[in-house]
Chains A and B, each alone.
Chain A
Amino acid sequence: MNIDINQMPCGFLSLSADGIIQSINDKLLDWIIAERSNTEGRQVDAILTESSKIFYQVYIYPMMKMHGKVEEMYFSLKSGDGSEVPVLFNGVCCERDGVIVFDCILIRTVNRHKLEHELLLSKKAAQQAKQSIVESAIDAIILANQRMKIIAWNKAAEELFGYYEQEAIGQDMEIIVPEHLIETYRRGVERLCATGQTMAIGRMVELSGLRKDGTEFPAEISLNCWQTNGEYYWSAIIRDITERKKTQELLLNSEKLSLAGQLAASIAHEIRNPLTAIKGFHQLMESEGNGNPYYFEILTDEMNRIELILNELLLLAKPQAKQLKQVNLRALLEQVCILMESQMHLHNIEVEVKCEQNVPTFIQCNENQMKQIFINFLKNAIEAMPNGGQVIIMANNIDGDSVLLRIIDQGEGIPEGRLKRIGEPFYTTKEKGTGLGLMVCRKIIEDHQGSLNITSRLNKGTTVEVLLPLGEKPQNDVPSVN
């Protein structure tokens, strides 16, 4: 049977036992961009790459000679244009007309270099894309190695912290940690190195950052950790939340102002009464030219009362530095009740604080904010009871770590549908409400690591539950509220 090698759908080559090319088909010539006249009659080396020359001599040739065949060897040919043509090589040793020949079929395979080149290009593009995303991010992105040395610092980090990339790289992460947080930070890093875990991994935490110029700013930080070649690496995405904090502050203040405004009417009324008494007795003393010690006692009492109420009012309205201090919640509640008493009386409402003497109620809190939330809850209770009634405030310990406060009214209650929406900004059921009160309350409670829960039954009343973590017991006794 005679086969026309040029009709074959693959490369074909016939070699003598000496490795001389006896015949070669058009397809193969086409692949390697060569002329028949330059290949037939020459050593096969002429169409081999440098690497494949060795491979042919030490591997393929001995195998064909000894084993009689070679199957599916990866091989490469040299093309006329200098490039490499990768092929799969199949050869068989046979006898034709009494002479040993090697008949070889070559199948073209994927051009590995081209493929690798494309792969490299796309890898580079992906790398560049990643780079540009990191560089153009609005948030500061910082990478650190296992020893917490900074290894990457983007544009936003430069703007946020004031260090240039070249200044920051190689520095310890501590350069962006404010002095008062450094101990906490070091403990965190220690724990992280020991256990590979930290509270902050994978979620946003609010902390503060330190700029090069020494100023501090509130920051929201999300940390991530990954492992490459057995080493841990960290990424921190940091956002400046100064603006957001300001907005929150404004919101709190506006709420305070609105509260103060609403309280003003009753307080004015409250102040007018003692003032009338003062005026009267004062006039009497003036006309009689002497003083009755009993009047003075009343005068002093009433004056003190004015002072107390005015002080409370002033505290609420005035912006305060946020300082946490140890506060006895029971005393605080009693103070709030005094403040609200007149309004309660106006609406025929009685308030009772039920708290056993031995129940610890010391908490770490911002006193004014705490007062603000209880005023809010009491006001709500008052408004819920237009026909008067009783408000009970209870304080219990549900475990050794927290205190649960319940403010129970006998008011109209809140329908189920509305209950769900309570606490949403600007959602209000009241005619003159701002829809901010409960939202602010919730925010304050959460800032104190507490939680807020409201249950209600229509026409039976509403119970507000505030769970707050207990502070450490003070060494000395009760630091009073005022």
Chain B
Amino acid sequence: MSRNINIIKRNDVKITGFGDKPIIFAPGFGCDQRMWRYVTPAFKKDYRIITFDYVGAGKTDLRFYDSTKYSQLSGYAQDLIDVLAALQLQEAIFVGHSVSSMIGLIASIQDPKYFERLIMIGPSPCYINDPPDYAGGFEISALEGLVDMMEKNYIQWANQFAPMIMKNVDRPNLSEELEESFCSTDPNIAVNFARATFFSDNRKDLSKATVPSLVLQCTDDAIAPTEVGEYIHHRMPGSEIRFMKATGHCPHLSHPEETAALIKDYLSKLQDI
């Protein structure tokens, strides 16, 4: 049991909601579980809501950060399985944003008993163009540029957050302040996650899916273009696709109502069957 408690602390797992059916929200690259705060209230009444962070993000325990483990998406998938196992949950609804969609898919292939449905928001199995058959949206040079930009912002990160952490040593409200500074992931960790995310190629995993899924595809998503969403839908058995009015890559932030409504709609149809 102590291992379970450790994992709950390690991944900063939070459980809310009044229902029985478990729904787990997995954040994408860049931010932490608080990204879901506009969407989760819609599920409060009927579901048991689980939010968590991958080790390295948010308020997780950095002592467990292993740069080798977390240089592959499988390392993050292990975090997800660890959380579900620690909570002894089975057949959960999984909602993943961006790269977490792929992490959810990898975890569901590895251990399907934990998953009932996968909901993928802005997923992409491969961000790199692979002509002539695949257009992921980016050339490798652009992704290298991204990594460079993140490394460049290390100074910004250090200037902004390091003093805050320093001065909070003797202050009890440290956690509150740090809570405010989510998205403040150490750039070294962020860069490792960025590499694992943007240089991965999970196209071959799509056909291995054993869990029904929904792809939520935004309009004008620069990260995961419509063609990529369609590519996934075509190759993933048991998948549905819904095109959102929401623009950009973070509909749960920019259009939480539409996002929640589409998820609920998909889940309600399920219950009808």
Contact = CB atoms under 8 A, between A and B. Distances in A.
Q: Which applies to chain A's interface (DSSP): helix, strand, loop or mixed? A: helix
Contacts of B31: 58-59, 62-63, 66
Nearest to B147: A51
Interface residues of B, number: 39
Nearest to B156: A72
Interface in A42-56: 43, 45, 48-56
B188 interface: no
B149 A74 contact: yes
Contacts of B29: 58
Contacts, number: 101
Interface in B237-269: 247-250, 253-254
B183 A54 contact: no
A51 B248 contact: no
A72 B139 CA distance: 27
B223 A54 contact: yes
B149 A66 contact: no
A66 B36 CA distance: 10
Nearest to A58: B30
A76 B247 contact: no
Interface in B126-144: 138-139, 141-144
A51 B247 contact: no
Contacts of B34: 66
Interface in A16-48: 17-19, 43, 45, 48
Given A51-B148, A55-B146, A61-B250, A67 B182 contact: yes
Interface in B147-185: 148-150, 152-153, 155-156, 159-160, 180-183
Contact of A58 (B98, B139, B155, B156): B98
Given A63-B31, A66-B31, A71 B160 contact: yes
B115 to A, nearest CB: 25
A65 interface: yes
A377 interface: no
A53 B145 contact: no
A54 B198 contact: yes
A57 B223 contact: yes
B247 A19 contact: yes
A51 B35 contact: no
Given A66-B183, A71-B160, A61 B253 contact: yes
A361 B160 CA distance: 81
Contacts of B144: 51
A48 B198 CA distance: 18
Nearest to A17: B254
Contacts of B15: none
B254 A65 contact: yes
A153 interface: no
Given A43-B220, A73-B156, A74-B152, 10 more contacts: A50-B138, A54-B143, A54-B198, A59-B183, A61-B248, A62-B31, A66-B183, A72-B156, A72-B160, A74-B153
Give the 8 A-B residue pairs with the shortest CB-CB distance, closest first. A51-B145, A50-B142, A58-B30, A74-B152, A57-B249, A53-B222, A51-B146, A62-B31
